Structure 1
Amino acid sequence: MKARLIYNPTSGNESILKSVADILDVLEQAGYEASAFRTTPEPQSAENEARRAAQAGFKLIVAAGGDGTLNEVVNGIAPLSKRPQMAIIPGGTTNDYARALKIPRNDPVAAARVILKKQTLPMDIGRAGEHYFMNIAGGGSMSELTYEVPSEYKSILGYLAYLVKGAEMLPRIKPMNMHLEYDDGVYDGAVTLFLSGLTNSVGGFEQVAPDSELGDGKLSLLIVKDTNIAEMLVLIAKALNGGKHINDPKIIYTKTRKLVVKPNDDQRIMINLDGEYGGDAPITLTVLQRHIEMYADLDAIPDESINTETPAEKQAEEHFVNSVNSLKNKE
């Protein structure tokens, strides 16, 4: 079996770069013939290498870097009919996906050792037009924060860089007029921010989607309506206080298999995919259920956070419910 480590040498204050030899040693211990690829400044460097390695028959691809590097690797293998297993070694600022999978976030070698536990989880992958995302798709002026934090600030200050930039941007946050279609309804109106996530972790907060289930085939959709600075600060405080924000009248919170995003005027709505620019609305977001098998520390993930129902079982259940409802309507 062959494993390919794809690593960003600048991530995590170069901690990943210093750990490459040790990570490869862990992969050898796990029974793989291991090799490494160092990403370059060229566009889609990690994405292109991930696709090449997958098509060359590698059984495991290990993505080491920030959320942007991980997103590129996912985009490299998600479109393929035959996909390798994937493991992640976080080296970014917020490392949301690592939080959800309970991967150590401050020690690249410890993150690699999760592979030795031989525990994997089939994870949902989101699709936005021709692009894919592994954790979050969002829009609104507040989501544009991630574009404005210089990479050198993120490397030096870490999550503090987002807090500093966020405080600077608060006076500039203005709602956008959007049309959002989801499974249970439609919202037309002013939106400060919308987030659609596949895990419970967003920007370092683990209560943004408090009832999120890994592998359930659904996006946890959070729509923040027209809010001023004071109201936004209250919502953030509620999110930090046990996820109580979802009950606020300024919030729409639901689960959906599909989300259509359209502007209601000429205003540009940029779509944020895992912290990176992913195109402009109009756009349709869907979920590829249990699409990529990821290494995770299953012992540390609560059972209630993992959906164990297979897509076939879910389809059968929905068919049964629809049949019952049809009989009721005939009565």
Structure 2
Amino acid sequence: MTEERKRARLIYNPTSGQEIIKKNIAEVLDVLEDIGYETSAFQTTPEPLSAQKEAERVAKAGFDLIIVAGGDGTINEVVNGVAPLEYRPKLAIIPTGTTNDYARALKIPLGDPVKAAKIIGQNQIIQMDIGRAFGDKYFINIAAAGTLTELTYSVPSEVKTHLGYFAYVAKGIEMFPQTKVRPVKIIHDQGVFEGEVSLIFVALTNSIGGFEQLAPNTKLDDGNFTLILVKTDKLFEMLALLIQALNGGQHVTDVNIEYLKTSKLRLEVLDDEEPFMLNLDGEYGGDTPVELEVCHNHIEFFVNRNEIAAESISAEENELN
């Protein structure tokens, strides 16, 4: 009797990035079949939560693997589809988005869908932490607040498609002068922070906005967020912090930075102005106040373990495979 083949579903965003997946989909499916997966494909539609609904359906149907071809937003949707469920299929990524922060963190090859698909054949897995906000919204990479974090809402998707990461850079430069400090209260594992901040980052990986040094000692599976608070709105001080971050993550000891680990936190704004808008993986997630928590080792992802720095992973290698 022949062994039953594992079932996989490729969920792909046809408009992501430069629409590269559409040119490679047949070859990607061949790779997955060669690895041993009986694979079918689903093309996302403009309907809201198209990828999320399909991921939930596939998980409930008992599929073994979901491969996500798209950017961080598509991955976020798929994770939100499976994260609340008792049975969660393994996930794999084919990065075709603009910044591809999550793929960078997992060292999945960029710009080559076939090469990315072959990572699955290496059979290297990490039980990844994911974040939960407002009790029912999940995120894979970053929760953020502050003027600059709102720039992802204001870059039209067609501009992102044509200009890619430069669209964000241009918008960031435009919004820099609008940045200002706000008084906040943050309750975390080590106590309470009360003070003025201009930017708040709650990170699950070391890759934020295309930079891999903003949260330099973040682990992918240790049950903790890396909380980064920027305590200045002065342009030259913020540029100095950016230069330090690019120079090996030296910003973490700067007087204008609060940097700590926590498994959960509560954030509220203390002034009478508008609440902070929370950015979850590049999309608007809701307004403060908000409680965030880590779902420890919640979803198994195929990763390029050979390229991930050992200090980024808590689990021993024999636990991973």
TM-based fold match above 0.5: yes
1:191 aligns with 2:197: yes
Same amino acid, percent of matched pairs: 57
What's the secondary structure of 2:131's corresponding residue?
strand
In structure 2, give the amino acid aligned to 1:68: G
CA distance in 1, matches of 2:29, 2:184: 47
CA distance in 1, matches of 2:128, 2:172: 30
Cα deviations by residue, 1:5-53 (Å, 9 ceiling, x for unpaired):
0000001211012111111111111111100010011110000000000
The answer to whether the 8 A contact 2:232-2:238 is kept is: no
Cα deviations by residue, 1:275-294 (Å, 9 ceiling, x for unpaired):
11111111110001110000
In structure 2, give the amino acid aligned to 1:272: N
The answer to whether the 8 A contact 2:206-2:217 is kept is: yes
Where do residues 270-281 of structure 1 align in structure 2 (5 Å cutoff)? 270-281=277-288
CA distance in 2, matches of 1:281, 1:309: 37
1:132 aligns with 2:153: no
Runs of 4+ in 1 over 6 A off after TM superposition: none
Counterpart selection for 1:307 from 311, 314, 318: 314
Cα deviation for residue 112 of structure 1 reads 0.7
Cα deviation for residue 301 of structure 1 reads 1.1
The answer to whether the 8 A contact 1:16-1:108 is kept is: yes
The answer to whether the 8 A contact 2:179-2:233 is kept is: no
Q: Tell me the equivalent position of 1:227.
A: 233
1:145 aligns with 2:151: yes
Q: Tell me the equivalent position of 2:114.
A: 109
Cα deviation for residue 309 of structure 1 reads 6.8
CA distance in 1, matches of 2:176, 2:101: 22
1:120 aligns with 2:120: no
1:5 aligns with 2:44: no
The answer to whether the 8 A contact 1:141-1:175 is kept is: no
Counterpart selection for 2:295 from 269, 275, 288: 288
CA distance in 1, matches of 2:23, 2:81: 25
What's the secondary structure of 1:42's corresponding residue?
coil
What's the secondary structure of 2:213's corresponding residue?
coil
What's the secondary structure of 2:144's corresponding residue?
strand
- The count of residues paired between Structure 1 and Structure 2 equals 310
1:211 aligns with 2:217: yes
1:32 aligns with 2:64: no
Normalised by the size of structure 2, how large is the TM-score? 0.94
Normalised by the size of structure 1, how large is the TM-score? 0.92
The answer to whether the 8 A contact 1:141-1:176 is kept is: no
In structure 1, give the amino acid aligned to 2:144: G
Q: Tell me the equivalent position of 1:44.
A: 49
Runs of 5+ in structure 2 lacking a partner? Answer: 1-5
Give the CA RMSD over aligned residues. 1.2
Q: Tell me the equivalent position of 2:3.
A: none
Counterpart selection for 2:258 from 219, 234, 252: 252
Q: Tell me the equivalent position of 2:175.
A: 169
